[in-house]
A and B are shown apart, each in its own frame.
Chain A
Amino acid sequence: MKTTTLLEVSKVNIHYGTNCVLEDIDFIAPAHTITAIIGPSGCGKSTLLRSFNRTNELITKTRRTGDILLEGREINDYDPLDLRARVGMIFQKPAVLPTTIYENVAVGPRLYGTRKKSELDEIVEESLTGASLWKELKDRLHKRAEQLSGGQKQRLAIARTLALKPEIILFDEATASLDPISTQKIEDLMHRLKETTTIIIATHNMKQAARASDNTLFLMAEEGEPSRVVEFGPTELIFTNPKVEKTELYITGRFG
């Protein structure tokens, strides 16, 4: 498999109002890899992640400078709605729409005008299979999604995203509210999904970053300063042989 750069982030600064929260962020996410963004709370992991599909714009007023390139093209040059279909996102809180399991998966294709039942059926089955939910749920597709467990809801969110066949899936602390077994299932899933997509996760769980990712981006801020990249590189190196002392101190839990 040829490794190509799918997402390239260079010299990115992000401001909230006049307040700069992220400065000079550089990293690349090669296709079919998992990149973990780690760092202490409040270091802007989620803000950075959300800028990749421009969901930041929906939540707070942020301003960005620098380049974020998806397949070599600046993401601001994409239609934001198209961009969000191509760059899916899983949120921290396992949330479902108050409807059936089936409709929770079909909602994406419906937004883009797919109406034929046979087509939707196929997409729903494919997506639920992709999210390792098909076997569990195939007999109750038309039951309410609210009844699912937190872990199932989160995998349903993944299925919902998969229904649009995204190139990138962003996981924003997606396992933070799950138990270890559900977390494990999601991590296994990420591992399988990288055959077809590229994954970027924001996590404060360093063990997860170590277990699940190929590359790690460590962000941290000095007192009163915006966050910067402390270190970026293959996860194995970051966790076994970090080049920067701060990284070692952080991952061994001595601060942060």
Chain B
Amino acid sequence: MKRSRRVSPTQAVLFMMTLISVVGLALIFFFVIREGYPIFSKVGLGKFLLGREWLPTRGLFGALPLILTSLMLVVGSVLVATPLGVGLAIYMVEYSPRPVRRFLKTIVELLAGIPSVIFGFFGITVFIPLTRHYFGSSGFGLIPAIVVLAIMILPTITAVSGDAIRAVPRENRLIVQALGGTRWQTVRRGVLPSAFRGIITGTILAEGRAIGETMAVLMVLGNAPMMPKALNQPAAAMPSQIALDMAYATGDHRVALFALGAVLLVFAAVLIFAARRVGRQRR
């Protein structure tokens, strides 16, 4: 009893580490919102969120084009990457022979570790020419950005859904196999229903990554802060616009960028909470 009252060095260190992360997180929210808040009171929250024109030099701070573009990037890349990532995970866990699985696992891990600026290069050299060729525009725009993001979030989806698939009890497979189910039927009826929540968690985590991605998007999106009209046209997303403008922004413009950051933070937080909710329901 006496022993447990005293704080051991381990506890103290762990507590400090926890404190640092909690305080750090709180400070991030605090400063972003404090720095950005004045613009909300100046132009109004509604006008900021729903305004259609982002022309900071003329005092127009309508973030809607940036917000919409970010959402389109998230939805687009998740729509592209989820079937690929889940398919890859199913193949790796259920079908591939061990050496192939090892090889794919290495590839996926490497893919996860590639710096985003490199993905940007990749987009510029491969997907921009392809977009230009097939969709007839400058090539910069939502299409290459979605493709590049899809590749970037693929490892997250594959890893998380792979874990979920592996965690399905063997009994569930046996149930279907013992009824004479084929391999695919076993996966479809015995494995995927149990792994479903895990797969959803994976895609939500991937959305979190996609919405915050700055560099690779900046390099291929074209950075024209206008309402996104077509997938082959240049657009601008929240994080990449912040990164671009931050270099020279002053006054209200600078404040507006912080406000944009706050909006981005809220979107990211919502996604993380959604992932946790879904993940918890698994039990």
Chain A residues close to B by CB (< 8 Å): 53, 55, 58, 80-85, 88-89, 91, 93, 95-99, 107-108, 110-112, 157, 160-161, 164
Give A83 to B189 CA distance when docked, in angstroms: 19
A157 touching B175, Cβ below 8 Å? yes
A82 touching B180, Cβ below 8 Å? yes
Chain B residues close to A by CB (< 8 Å): 169, 171-182, 185, 189-190, 193-194
- CB contact between A88 and one of B176, B179, B194 (< 8 Å): that residue: B179
Q: How far is the CB of B185 from chain A (nearest CB, A)?
A: 5
Which B residues are in CB contact (< 8 Å) with A80? 180
Closest to B169 in A: A95
Which B residues are in CB contact (< 8 Å) with A55? 174, 177-178
Task: Report whether over half of chain B's contact residues are helix, strand or loop; otherwise say mixed.
Answer: helix
Which A residues are in CB contact (< 8 Å) with B171? 91, 93, 95
A108 touching B177, Cβ below 8 Å? no
A98 touching B194, Cβ below 8 Å? yes
Number of A-B contacts (CB under 8 A): 66
B175 touching A99, Cβ below 8 Å? no
B175 touching A95, Cβ below 8 Å? yes
Which A residues are in CB contact (< 8 Å) with B169? 95
- CB contact between A97 and one of B177, B180, B182, B190 (< 8 Å): that residue: B190
Give A108 to B185 CA distance when docked, in angstroms: 10
Most chain A CB neighbours (cut-off 10 Å) among B173, B175, B176? B175
- CB contact between B172 and one of A88, A95, A112, A164 (< 8 Å): that residue: A95
Which B residues are in CB contact (< 8 Å) with A82? 180
Which B residues are in CB contact (< 8 Å) with A83? 180
B180 touching A107, Cβ below 8 Å? no
Q: How far is the CB of A102 from chain B (nearest CB, A)?
A: 14
B193 touching A111, Cβ below 8 Å? no
Beyond A111-B180, A164-B179, 9 additional pairs, beta carbon < 8 A: A55-B178, A85-B180, A95-B174, A96-B175, A97-B190, A97-B193, A98-B172, A107-B176, A111-B185
Q: List 24 A-B contacts (CB under 8 A).
A: A55-B174, A55-B177, A80-B180, A81-B181, A81-B182, A88-B178, A89-B178, A91-B171, A91-B175, A95-B172, A96-B175, A97-B172, A97-B176, A97-B193, A97-B194, A99-B193, A107-B176, A108-B180, A111-B180, A111-B181, A111-B185, A111-B189, A160-B179, A161-B179
Which A residues are in CB contact (< 8 Å) with B193? 97-99
Most chain A CB neighbours (cut-off 10 Å) among B173, B176, B177, B178? B178
Give A159 to B132 CA distance when docked, in angstroms: 59
Q: How far is the CB of A59 from chain B (nearest CB, A)?
A: 8
Give A110 to B190 CA distance when docked, in angstroms: 13
Closest to A108 in B: B179
Q: How far is the CB of A81 from chain B (nearest CB, A)?
A: 4
Give A112 to B180 CA distance when docked, in angstroms: 9
Give A161 to B179 CA distance when docked, in angstroms: 7
Closest to A86 in B: B180
Which A residues are in CB contact (< 8 Å) with B172? 95, 97-98
Which A residues are in CB contact (< 8 Å) with B174? 55, 58, 91, 95
B175 touching A97, Cβ below 8 Å? yes
Which B residues are in CB contact (< 8 Å) with A111? 176, 179-182, 185, 189
Closest to B192 in A: A98
Which A residues are in CB contact (< 8 Å) with B178? 53, 55, 84, 88-89, 91, 161
Closest to A55 in B: B178
Give A84 to B177 CA distance when docked, in angstroms: 8
Which B residues are in CB contact (< 8 Å) with A53? 178
Q: How far is the CB of A177 from chain B (nearest CB, A)?
A: 12
B180 touching A164, Cβ below 8 Å? yes
Closest to A112 in B: B180
Which A residues are in CB contact (< 8 Å) with B177? 55, 58, 84
A84 touching B189, Cβ below 8 Å? no
Which B residues are in CB contact (< 8 Å) with A161? 178-179
Give A97 to B176 CA distance when docked, in angstroms: 9
Which B residues are in CB contact (< 8 Å) with A97? 172, 175-176, 189-190, 193-194
Q: How far is the CB of B170 from chain A (nearest CB, A)?
A: 8
Closest to A82 in B: B180
- CB contact between B189 and one of A91, A93, A107 (< 8 Å): that residue: A107
Which A residues are in CB contact (< 8 Å) with B190? 97
Q: How far is the CB of B86 from chain A (nearest CB, A)?
A: 17
Give A49 to B180 CA distance when docked, in angstroms: 16
Give A112 to B194 CA distance when docked, in angstroms: 22
B179 touching A84, Cβ below 8 Å? yes
Question: When A and B form their complex, which 5 residue pairs have the shortest distance between CB atoms, in order from nearest?
Answer: A95-B171, A84-B180, A85-B180, A81-B180, A89-B178
Closest to B173 in A: A58
Q: How far is the CB of B96 from chain A (nearest CB, A)?
A: 17
Q: How far is the CB of A160 from chain B (nearest CB, A)?
A: 7
